[in-house]
């Protein structure tokens, strides 16, 4: 009889991002909220500027957008001074209702999520999650996702830990809540560069998602009307950015990840670590 395999050499949990990974195909809710926010302060921003820094704690994301030379220059032209910490505070306070309203329009689960989560649980994995949204912003999203059948075992927000991405604290808190260790037995899955950086900083395996997330930044409808060559180019460019950040694996969507987890399990059993 074969000896039983040690559970120390198998995956125990995955930690999933939210917008662009499990809900909100294309990651549009933060984009809409940021654009309305900056417009209300007299400094309109582009979609590309709003997407720059996606995945960070939203206060940090606001600071990041303000640091972009194009936005900083427009802010100075509007206010007669360069943006400062007081501006970040004012913008973040004003941002919260914008984001809460925007989230309501983007709570639909991405196709394949429920099937992927079922596959994870079938092989004994616990499901954690983390986000750039505060707990206050997440309330509606959590409720709507649960109504559609998605309810992770743990949900951690950046305002509940020392700092958001790329710091590893949300992932450490997930590990604690899920009662899972070592970190090499966990996989972080997300669609942004800072998702990958967060996972690496926590010592986890990482999978970057392209088709459904911020790096491509298109809706399901917009994707379907692309030429094959255009889609191939966009997916490839997104993959390069995520791989350059250090992603161990790349997938189009969460639906494509169960087979990757099988490969990671094989690597763990062979003695590999992230």
Cα separation of 260 and 241, whole Å? 19
Q: Which residue has the tokens 């889609």?
A: 231
Q: Closest Cα to residue 65, out of 87, 50, 80, 82?
A: 50
Cα separation of 59 and 97, whole Å? 13
Q: Closest Cα to residue 26, out of 92, 110, 132?
A: 110
Q: Within a 13 Å sphere around the CA of 105, how many CA atoms are in the beta-carbon half? A: 12
DSSP state of 214: T
Per-residue pLDDT of the chain (274 residues; tens, 9 = 90+): 343 334 568 999 999 999 999 999 999 999 999 999 999 999 999 999 999 999 999 999 999 999 999 999 999 999 999 999 999 999 999 999 999 999 999 999 999 999 999 999 999 999 999 999 999 999 999 999 999 999 999 999 999 999 999 999 999 999 999 999 999 999 999 999 999 999 999 999 999 999 999 999 999 999 999 999 999 999 999 999 999 999 999 999 999 999 999 999 999 999 999 9
**Which CATH fold topology does 7-27+107-269 show?**
Rossmann fold (3.40.50)
Cα separation of 205 and 185, whole Å? 8
Q: Active-site positions?
A: 17, 58
Peptide bond into 84 cis (omega under 30): no
- Convert the pLDDT of each residue in 159-193 to its tens digit: 999 999 999 999 999 999 999 999 999 999 999 99
On whether the CB atoms of residues 17 and 130 are closer than 8 A, the answer is yes
Cα separation of 217 and 178, whole Å? 31
- Convert the pLDDT of each residue in 140-164 to its tens digit: 999 999 999 999 999 999 999 999 9
Domain ranges of the chain: 7-27+107-269, 29-103
Strand partners, 109: 23
pTM value is 0.95
**Which CATH fold topology does 29-103 show?**
DNA polymerase; domain 1 (1.10.150)
Burial group, residue 48, by CB count within 10 angstroms (0-12, 13-18, 19+): exposed
Strand partners, 129: 16
Cα separation of 198 and 83, whole Å? 27
Q: Which helix (H) or strand (E) holds 78?
A: helix 69-79
Hey, what are 175's tokens?
Answer: 């590990």
Hey, what are 166's tokens?
Answer: 């790329």
Coil, helix or strand for 21?
Answer: coil
Cα separation of 131 and 125, whole Å? 20
């Amino acid at each position: 009889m074969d000896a039983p395999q040690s559970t120390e050499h198998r995956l125990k949990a995955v930690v999933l991002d939210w917008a662009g990974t499990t809900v909100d195909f294309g990651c549009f809710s933060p984009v809409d909220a940021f654009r309305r926010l900056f417009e209300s302060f007299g400094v309109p921003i582009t979609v590309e500027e709003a997407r720059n820094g996606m995945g960070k704690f939203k206060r940090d994301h606001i600071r990041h957008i303000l640091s972009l030379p194009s936005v900083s220059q427009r802010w100075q032209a509007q206010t007669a001074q360069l943006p400062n910490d007081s501006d970040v505070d004012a913008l973040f306070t004003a941002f919260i209702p914008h984001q809460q309203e925007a989230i309501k329009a983007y709570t639909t689960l991405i196709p394949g999520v429920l099937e992927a989560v079922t596959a994870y649980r079938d092989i004994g994995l616990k499901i954690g999650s983390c986000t750039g949204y505060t707990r206050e912003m997440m309330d509606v999203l959590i409720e709507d996702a649960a109504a559609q059948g998605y309810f992770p075992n743990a949900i951690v927000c950046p305002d509940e830990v020392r700092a958001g991405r790329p710091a590893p604290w949300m992932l450490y808190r997930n590990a604690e809540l899920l009662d899972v260790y070592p970190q090499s037995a966990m996989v972080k899955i997300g669609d942004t560069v800072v998702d990958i950086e967060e996972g690496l900083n926590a010592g986890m395996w990482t999978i970057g998602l392209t088709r459904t997330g911020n790096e491509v930044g298109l809706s399901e409808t917009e994707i379907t009307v692309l030429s094959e060559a255009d889609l191939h180019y966009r997916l490839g460019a997104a993959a390069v950015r995520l791989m350059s950040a250090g992603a161990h694996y790349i997938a189009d969507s969460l639906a494509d990840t169960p087979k990757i987890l099988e490969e990671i399990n094989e690597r763990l059993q062979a003695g590999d670590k992230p």
